[in-house]
Chain A
């Protein structure tokens, strides 16, 4: 097996805010991320966020699919199957790292990773960005995007985002 320790730079446990051109990337610490599934979670969990909804509250539920949401900053919940509430619960707080991409160029940066348009609407925030799965939505204002990416691919996602931020800033400087 090939020793690749020097081919891969050490991962960055927590990223400091980075500004390139007119976009800023910042890692966000959330209190809790809870994966909740059940036949009626889309009606019981609120506020339910899809694309391109704006998040306006501290606690919210990202709609991932018909029967699955990611509750952000929710209360601590017992893992497993809750037969009464008909919901399956997993605490995945450490499974996803979360980044905010903000600024006038933020949308341009995202467009370098996938077709990201405000329309058509989608009930789900699940996306493929730069070939990596993520949850993408907007927080508070139109140029504030938030991404949840699996922890194992967080460094790769940051690499893609920084490369795209650089490309976007070079366009602006033309």
Chain B
């Protein structure tokens, strides 16, 4: 190949030379070049290696259809792998290396793999490496596979993500797209035009006149008119996918390695003017560097001023091909034409030196081929549009479309500029587009199965005609199976060059018409999209933001270790250094004196209205209707399947006013659960649900000295045992602010829960903390709280229960047997499964030895490994001076006193099944 830069023409800026390196060689390009055009202009023939056989590869196409030129590029301190050279603009100083080749694309040490091609056909890996074990081979195969390695450097400039809407989106800034956009904009519609090149005009550079005007002037006039009418034009922007409700994904590129911008554009209607791609012809050695797309060569000449070669052999047919041939001849090439349907065979080593037809050799370093045009219908299919097979054009064309979308120009199979502009006028004025039927009838030019030589269908993945035949032989005849068995059309190609040849070959092998074989499914993205563009600024703490407590600043001042619990950032313990030391000390102190705990994240959901009592009674397993105002009751919320969904306490603030205190992590789901049932089977005008969780902050004082600490607040209440018993609630005020004061306990000790409007939380916390310290007490984090509640056998839903736990498995049997009113889950509690003898039930474990059993350890019969259940909570109890554990065990309540073992990673510990509550079982401290 002796490609060279033409003295004039193209949209490149000849006054701005650029220097770059390719595989270590210094080269020059011009501003406006793509990397591919610059490489061609520098006479580079081998730009990469194929995926499997490491065959040398040259540039095939000039834009998104090129499967071969894939590079790792470094510019300054930025390096990106797997950059398509045909769609990436050249920048000064780029260090470019071909992927999948070492030390260079020209001299690749793995090139010898091609000698083994007879044994490496499609499905080779699936068959060869299954025995004795795929995992033996996997590491080395993975090491060999893949393209460019990902750079481990992190670039901290997030991609911009923008939502937008418009009346009309025109995809493609060629002549048809420009005219359609102009007409729509001039009608007063809000028009967006996106063009994936840096310049507008599409194939206008390849024609001498548009509508009787100079093409460049015509393009400039259209652009000016669109902008003047209020339209918007985005260059270097690719519409990569169409999603539900006409949402179009756009990727706007900037300078190399600068984070792209991703648009989510909701378009009222879409005009697809995305053009068409050249189709390869399948013949022997058609993958050699130097065999390239005729339309691509024409584009290189017209757009970049690069003539691919002076001496060229052409195998092509069709009117668009004739136009391209004329353009290349005009640029100075001497052409020899061969019949495209003859038995062709390219010859040469590491590059084409010509083409042979039978015994006749035509010498030329470049062979330009065109098997016809394939309309770019990817977006059409993303949107759910149908495809119709056109025998005259030998192509799939846009058919019926369920959404507001029209295809025009080459994307619609209309290759004549005049007819394309007519379609653009229709689309621009929002009238139906009528495709002009072509007079020309293309004769089929498809692969011929069983013909001689290695004939490539997919250049990137080394899929040959023989592989397609093999797939058919092994009954992978569906195109979807063919694709996955052979990898045809996968990765960056997405069917752009390989699809038609592959499905036509399968059609020929099966002797079926092409439309009957069909196409594979087109899915976004149309071109490779950096994953970075999807996360944007949604990273680090903004990726999954935790809920923050109103008292977090106070906790930080007290050296709290802040940890995630159920979507909240909460104090796990207080202090630096060894966590367990602090946790044990906190638990001990709370039992011996008093401690304060931040319970602000606990759910506080108000249920109000004339039917509130009946509703709460319905959504809870426990009977609530008998609950008196000012009293609190513990209860379970079940799913319809009878599974425990949440537990918590329900306070009755008034006859028609309840407050549900649910688990911190379940607040949102409980609110939704209540809303769903409120609106389903109940009168939503008589029940109202308010989530007040974040309006109130809650501080709990717990421990033998809790009453004394609360008394320091000077509340106008009698806090005595009789006046304010366990499981009751009073509303009062503190420092002029409302306060809800509840006697409820999750530690098993005397406890008071105080809730105030969140802005007063710090004042309350400070007062209580001071009083607690004065009483010899301290702080209580969630880890220590977890020990205290486990000593009492109090469960945490989701930790001490699983997806099958019902309330009677936890020892709560009365409502199931006696509650007469309907409640959610009732029916399921009486099923055979619910009554099975081997249900896993909550038990305690008396642990032999001093070591804490790992949570999750299996509970097994002594001497066996047959799991009977597992440990759900396990701690060292500083109050009891020994390990404690809760578990759910099959038939657990009938195993009280039975000696068993826990088993975890071959370690066994002797345990005895016991009641879950191992501290103050009579509840004297609780009711103190």
Chain A contact residues, CB within 8 Å of chain B:
1-5, 7-11, 13, 35, 37-39, 67-68, 79-81, 83, 88, 90-96, 108, 111-117, 130-132, 150-156, 159-160, 163-164, 167, 170-171
Contacts and interface: CB of A to CB of B under 8 A. Distances in A.
Interface in B519-559: 537-538, 541-542, 545-550, 552-553, 556
B380 interface: no
Given A13-B553, A37-B690, A167 B537 contact: yes
Interface stretch (B306-314, B607-615, B815-823): B607-615
Contact of A155 (B548, B684, B689): B548
Nearest to B693: A95
B924 interface: no
A1 B572 contact: yes
Nearest to B264: A115
A117 to B, nearest CB: 5
A94 B657 contact: no
Given A1-B563, A3-B563, A112-B161, A88 B572 contact: no
Instruction: List the 5 shortest-distance A-B pairs measured between CB atoms, nearest first.
Output: A156-B545, A95-B695, A152-B547, A94-B758, A88-B608
- Number of chain B interface residues as a range: 35 or more
B165 A115 contact: yes
A111 B158 CA distance: 16
Contacts of A117: 165
B219 interface: no
Nearest to B601: A152
Given A11-B552, A95-B693, A153 B545 contact: yes
Nearest to B612: A81
Contact of A150 (B560, B606, B688, B694): B694
A171 B160 contact: yes
Interface string B694-714: 111100000000000000000
A114 B546 CA distance: 20
Contacts of B560: 5
A94 B165 contact: no
Contacts of A91: 695, 757
B266 interface: yes
Given A91-B695, A94-B694, 6 more contacts: A7-B541, A88-B606, A88-B688, A91-B757, A112-B160, A150-B694
Contacts of B811: none
24 contacts: A1-B783, A4-B562, A4-B563, A4-B569, A5-B556, A5-B560, A8-B562, A9-B541, A67-B684, A88-B609, A88-B690, A93-B695, A94-B550, A94-B695, A108-B162, A111-B162, A115-B163, A115-B264, A150-B547, A151-B695, A153-B548, A155-B545, A159-B542, A163-B158
Nearest to B568: A152
B775 interface: no
Interface string B388-407: 00000000000000000000
A36 B690 CA distance: 9
B344 interface: no
A153 to B, nearest CB: 6
Contacts of A167: 158, 160, 537
The interface centre, meaning the residue of B538, B692, B759 with most chain A CB atoms within 10 A of its CB, is B692
A11 B762 CA distance: 14
B164 interface: yes
Contacts of A108: 162
Contacts, number: 154
A147 to B, nearest CB: 15
> Which of A4, A81, A91 has the most chain B CB within a 10 Å cutoff?
A81
Nearest to A94: B758
B899 interface: no
Contacts of A37: 608, 688-690
Contacts of A38: 688
Contact of A81 (B160, B163, B654, B696): B654
Interface string B133-163: 0000000000000000000000000101111
Contacts of B690: 35, 37, 88, 90, 92
Contacts of B657: 79-81
Contacts of A95: 691-695, 758
B563 A2 contact: yes
B541 A90 contact: no
Interface string B295-319: 0000000000000000000000000
A45 to B, nearest CB: 14
Nearest to B782: A1
B552 A10 contact: yes
A116 to B, nearest CB: 7
B913 to A, nearest CB: 28
B771 to A, nearest CB: 23
A96 B165 CA distance: 30
B564 interface: yes
B718 interface: no
B88 to A, nearest CB: 20
A80 B656 contact: yes
Contacts of B684: 67
A10 B549 CA distance: 11
A49 B371 CA distance: 62
